[in-house]
Amino acid sequence: MCEIPFKGEIRRDYLTGSDVIFTLSRDTRPRDFRNDESLYGNKTDCQFEYGKESFNTTIKTVGKPWKLRLMYNKYPIVNSGVESFLENGFLKKYSNYGKSYVVVDTPNHSMKFHEIDNADLYEWFKLLIEGEKMMYEDKKIKHVYVFKNSGSISGGSIYHQHTQIIGLPFILPVIKQDLLIIKENHNKCIIEDAIKIDKERILIEDKYALAFSPFGSRFKGMSIITVKRHINHITKLNDAEILSIINMLKEILKRNEKIFGAHSYNIMFHEMKSSPELHLYLEITPRFSNIGSMELSGVFMNSLRPEVYVKKFRDAV
């Protein structure tokens, strides 16, 4: 029996409720623009180098000489100034109150994230936890968002590997959507259900955690890393779970580079300290193009079905 050629389909992303159009034609579009992800940026001007510590106020360093730096973001999107609020009918205005930290992941300017030693990445993860705990000491902070932008298309402006921690006085819409999906799932954990449904799309698994490519992946090569134990934020992780997450994160980034070549990516931590129903997970999204009008409308385009990506991933050992 001949297999019917794949011409495209629409899937619903159970994590967000978004519709995703899978179509192979996206990869054959002509392009006038080129992004060279192999460039290392200008090391001379990089403020994350040894000897440039005075450019940013350091909170904590790990190692002598330092291997990791936790510092205040010199260019924050939020600040810890005086709070203000104005409401006039449907017009609402708030002060941009909040806290913004940066973790410099490595002193080596040209080192890729997946090339960092596991021992150093363990300290990196512990530093993220410490930074998050510090932010939650401020009772006005309602949500702490940990994320990483790597590469020109990811939203990153500096090549040198770094991670951001932002404390906000409100809950991010993406987390509100996570909580809404749980409610629509009869208050059952959507991640635990997803693990059962997406068994054929599992990328890596061990005793404590697993990674999979979700059925309705909004981005080509998108993956999820989650721990098997139901916990809602990173401060509850034990050492074994942290090490599992690190191993899987490195493996995904390493194999993705084999599959796609040098590319931008985002890493986003989905967690919420005040919502025990939420199941902690990391979302890794390779980025190959900027967001277009269709994506801004809430409908995503993907040229690589997760089943095909999983096969490519398993072959890229």
Would residue 162 show up in a list of annotated catalytic residues for this protein?
yes
CB contact set of 28 (below 8 Å; sequence gap of 6+): none
Report the pLDDT value the prediction gives residue 91, as an integer from 0 to 100. Answer: 74
pTM score, whole prediction: 0.89
Report the pLDDT value the prediction gives residue 158, as an integer from 0 to 100. Answer: 87
- The pLDDT tens digits of the residues spanning 260-306 come to 999 999 999 999 999 999 999 999 999 998 888 888 888 889 999 99
CA–chain centroid gap for 256, Å, is 15
The stretch 57-76 carries a mean pLDDT of 94
Structure tokens at 51: 């000897």
Architecture of the domain spanning 37-170: 2-Layer Sandwich (3.30)
The stretch 126-133 carries a mean pLDDT of 98
At residue 227, does pLDDT exceed 60? yes
Report the pLDDT value the prediction gives residue 40, as an integer from 0 to 100. Answer: 64
Report the pLDDT value the prediction gives residue 85, as an integer from 0 to 100. Answer: 72
Structure tokens at 287: 């980025």
pLDDT above 70 covers a percentage of the chain that reads 88
- The pLDDT tens digits of the residues spanning 170-217 come to 888 899 999 999 999 999 999 999 999 889 999 999 999 999 999 999
At residue 13, does pLDDT exceed 90? no
Mean pLDDT of the chain: 89
Superfamily in which the 7-32+171-317 domain is placed by CATH: HIT-like (3.30.428.10)
At residue 30, does pLDDT exceed 50? no
- 109, 143, 160, 162: the active-site residue: 162
CA distance linking residue 141 with residue 137, whole number of Å: 8
At residue 39, does pLDDT exceed 60? no
**Residue ranges of the chain that CATH labels 3.30.428.10:** 7-32+171-317, 37-170
